[in-house]
Chain A
Amino acid sequence: MPSHTDPSVAIVGAAGFVGRKLLRQLEERDISATAIVRGLPELSVDGDFHGACSAALALAGEGFDVVVNLAYPTSGSPYEYPAQDEAIARTVHGLVKGGGRVIQASTLAVFGLALDRQVAPGPVPKVRDAAYVESKLLAESLLTEQQAKRGLALDIVRLGNVWGAGSGSWAQPLVQRLITGRPVGVTGAPGYSNTTDVANVAAYLAFLIQDGRREPGVRYHHLAEFSYVTWSDWADPIAAELGIEAVCADPSVLEMPASGVQELVEALAPLGPRTLYQRMATERTAGSWARTLVRHLPSPARTRLKTGPFFADEPDLDRAEQSFLAIMAGRQEFTSVVDSAWKPVLTEEESLERVLLWLDGG
């Protein structure tokens, strides 16, 4: 049995943004780890240190004391996400030894993308939400079931918005939005960024790997050391570096359907008479029927059909845009709940400095 200081470690999903940084952190701490990746290892991880291999190859081995799971469904259709979650959970299950430990990287989004449900470091019941959110909730649930059956140690680490130099989810979109004049916030609603720098994420995961805890049970961690930083605190210096001013959207963009029924009504709205007529009018036979029907409509209705709208026009912003801006305006802080012995390796100032350097191509 390996000692607490040198457990066998596997990183599932090691080729991603967090995975690469974690491998580097482990290398610096002289901790050996196996990187489980899809695709070509050469393009997935740096160097030979981690003996990158596929899940199939790793599953044929004797198993690992600690399995860190960073993988989650990222491709294919959202309706396939549950099947992908189950496949990832099976891989983790196959990789971890009896009495071993699983560290699951989860997300603050289990409380809603814009953090619109009450945050608490404990189990979260399944709810209907965006595909990504449901997927992360399912992953937590599947691994918790495994933990209960096998008496594993399970650490669910809910990460804040993982930002930093090279962040394709936050730093890159902010830069691109600033350059193209799209809003990066909502007027009068400076939201908490609830961010964690990827370097700190890697450091915390490495810390957990090293702490040697193996007691069966589920432990919840929330990591967002920069939760208090507002999005404008990040965006404004980037804008200044680019020599431009950040644009904010009108608060009305945050008006979204409050329930599934309202979402359905809004989805069906484009099927109203005007849209239906416009769609049918381009058809050969149906167009003829539509014209006949219109000719028999009373004049006021015909006018409305021509000039509309029968229903509200489609919003100027699509739902993805609205969701992004809702996150930018989020008013609930995702406070860190981490092991008290751990300290971030990067300060807010250092994190921003790295992003600005990245922006400049340095």
Chain B
Amino acid sequence: MISVGLIGCGAVVHELYAKALIGRSAYKVCFVCDTDPTQAASAAVLFGAEAVSLEVLAEKAEAIIISTPPATHAALVRACLQPGRTIICEKPYMTTHKDAREICEESHAAGASLFVNHFRRVFPQLELAQELVGLGVIGEVTGFRASEGGRFIWKAVSRYTTRDPAGGVLWDTGSHTLDMALFASGLDGSPDMGVEDVRVRRDKSEPSHDFRADFRLSVDGRGVDGRVHVSRKEALPNLVVISGTGGQVAFITGLDDRVRLTTATGSTVLHAERPYGHFMECFDIQFRRILLADRAGPMAAENFAGQIKLIETLTNA
């Protein structure tokens, strides 16, 4: 059985991870730590784990899940790098492209396996959309637009979402939304893509709660137009639309199993082979794939450097 250590015992751990990590035969949360002893003690009871210091956890746990505010990720991943260790970092992966690139390299050099917790990558509609685009069904990708917004109800214990410059809606919700667009477009494997012609509108300085941007990505010598709008204040269409030279695919951002495919011959809705009943199933699948080394590829950290570059560039615009 793989011993898992949890660094950060906030809302995501108590409300989501607990349901996906308790009672599994192949892995068990054995160690937890948090800067707030109350949170650590609560998680320890929840998981039947031992509340320990960061140093002890980094020494003893075979696999480590980091679910702390984004600004702390770089230092914590570095503190956990060990040969043969699996590390899962909560999204957003890093807050700078420089860290995103360097830590991937450091992880490889240390012999550790580093992943990012982007559980939406197992959403059936996203897997199907990525497959369709990859097959060339819509030709070469020329652009995408993505939106996601609604009343913000997540209660981060650390309150980083209103205090930390990397806690704004683009880093938080937007990292999910943009990842869906980049993953489906097949652009997530371009860590050094150019981000140009950036135009941004936001409600306030970071951490902002309503953020929209138009931009152009430069990938392998071709341009891809992007548009994103994310909001904690108003409902948005919650759609991702990928356009190509031969058509487009569109899907909703919530858990679903349908993709709309539109080409010159018409428009139709395709269903993924395997629908899921609940999004918690996606957390479960993600942890299984990563911890048991079963189809973890899409979650490997190197797939997220491009996303961080895009978010960082938009944030700083």
- Give the docked Cα–Cα distance between A245 and B269 (Å): 11
Q: Which 7 A-B pairs have the closest CB atoms?
A: A168-B235, A181-B269, A166-B234, A180-B258, A361-B229, A175-B237, A172-B235
Contacts of A244 in B (CB 8 A): 260, 262, 267
Contacts A42-B162, A175-B239, A179-B260: A243 and B267 contacting too (C-beta < 8 A)? Answer: yes
Cross-chain contact B267 with A179 (CB below 8 angstroms): no
Q: Are A17 and B235 in contact (CB under 8 A)?
A: yes
A358 contacts B152, C-beta separation under 8 Å: no
Q: Is B233 an interface residue (CB 8 A)?
A: yes
The answer on a CB contact under 8 Å between B269 and A361 is no
- What are 22 residue pairs bridging A and B, where the CB atoms are less than 8 Å apart in the complex? A39-B153, A42-B209, A43-B161, A46-B203, A166-B149, A167-B235, A168-B150, A168-B151, A171-B235, A171-B237, A175-B238, A176-B238, A179-B250, A179-B251, A179-B260, A180-B256, A181-B260, A243-B267, A244-B267, A359-B237, A361-B145, A361-B227
Chain A residue with the shortest CB-CB distance to B162: A42
A244 to B268, CA, bound (A): 9
Question: Is the beta-carbon distance between B235 and A166 smaller than 8 angstroms?
Answer: yes
A179 touches B262 (CB 8 A): no
Residue on B nearest A20 in the bound complex, by CB? B233
Interface residues of B in 219-239 (CB under 8 A from A): 227-229, 232-239
Q: Are A43 and B232 in contact (CB under 8 A)?
A: yes
Q: Give per-residue flags for A340-362: 1 if the beta carbon is below 8 A from chain B beta carbons, else 0.
A: 00000000000000000011110
Interface residues on B, range: 35 or more
B147 within 8 A of A: yes
Tell me the nearest residue of chain B to A165, going by C-beta. B234
- What's the nearest-Cβ distance from chain A to residue B149, in Å? 8
A40 CB-CB contact with B under 8 Å? yes
Interface residues of B in 239-260 (CB under 8 A from A): 239, 250-252, 254, 256, 258, 260
Using Cβ atoms and an 8 Å threshold, which residues of chain A touch B149? 166
Q: Mark A308-350, 1 if CB is under 8 A from B, else 0.
A: 0000000000000000000000000000000000000000000
B212 within 8 Å of A by Cβ?
Answer: yes
Bound Cα distance A93, B249 (Å)? 52
B269 closest partner in A (C-beta): A181
Smallest CB gap from A355: residue in B: B237
Q: Which residue of A lies closest to B260 (CB)?
A: A179
Would you call B252 and A176 a contact (CB within 8 A)?
yes
Whether the Cβ atoms of B147 and A361 lie closer than 8 Å is yes
Interface residues on A, range: 20 to 34
Query: In the assembled complex, how far is the CB of residue A180 from the closest CB belonging to chain B, in whole angstroms?
Result: 4
| B binding-site residues for A, Cβ under 8 Å | 145, 147, 149-153, 159, 161-162, 203, 209, 212, 227-229, 232-239, 250-252, 254, 256, 258, 260, 262, 267-269
Residue of B nearest to A167 (CB): B235
Chain A nearest Cβ from B264, distance in angstroms:
12
Residues of B within 8 A of A168 (CB): 150-151, 235
CB pair B260–A176 under 8 Å, yes or no, is no
State how many angstroms separate the Cβ of B28 from the closest Cβ of chain A. Answer: 27
Min CB distance B153 to A, Å, is: 8
B235 touches A43 (CB 8 A): no
The one of B236, B262, B267 that contacts A358, using a Cβ cutoff of 8 Å: B236
> Are A172 and B237 in contact, with the CB atoms below 8 A?
yes
A179 with B252, Cβ < 8 A, contacts A43-B162, A168-B150 known: yes
**Quick check: A40 and B269 within 8 Å, CB to CB?**
no
Which chain B residue shows the least CB distance to A74?
B151
Given A167-B235, A171-B237, A180-B252; 4 other pairs, CB 8 A cutoff: A43-B232, A172-B236, A175-B239, A359-B237
A residues within 8 A CB of B161? 43
A361: chain B residues within 8 A (beta carbon): 145, 147, 212, 227-229, 236-237
The reply to whether B260 and A172 form a contact with Cβ atoms under 8 Å apart is no
What residue in chain B is nearest A177 (Cβ atoms)? B252
CB distance from A321 to the nearest CB of B (A): 15
Q: CA A343 – CA B250 in complex, angstroms?
A: 39
Residue of A nearest to B155 (CB): A39
Nearest residue in B to A41 (C-beta to C-beta)? B162
B270: nearest residue on chain A (CB-CB)? A181
Write the chain B residue with the least CB distance to A361: B229
The one of A39, A40, A243, A360 that contacts B262, using a Cβ cutoff of 8 Å: A243
Contact B237 A180 (CB under 8 A): no
Q: How close is B171's CB to chain A, nearest CB, in angstroms?
A: 15
- Does A245 contact B267, Cβ atoms closer than 8 Å? yes
List chain B residues, Cβ under 8 A from A358: 236-237
Q: A167 to B237, alpha carbons, bound, how many Å?
A: 9
Q: Give a binary string over A159-198; 1 marks a CB under 8 Å from any B CB, 0 the rest.
A: 0000000111001100110011100000000000000000
Chain A residue contacts of B254, Cβ below 8 A: 176
Taken together as a complex, chains A and B put the C-alpha atoms of A257 and B209 apart, in Å, by 44
Smallest Cβ distance from B212 to chain A, in angstroms? 7
**Which residue of the partner chain A has the closest CB to B240?**
A179
Nearest CB of B to A74, in Å: 9
Q: Which residue of the partner chain A has the closest CB to B268?
A: A181
Please state if B235 and A176 are interface contacts (CB–CB under 8 Å): no
Q: How far is the CA of A279 from the CA of B24 in the complex (A)?
A: 25
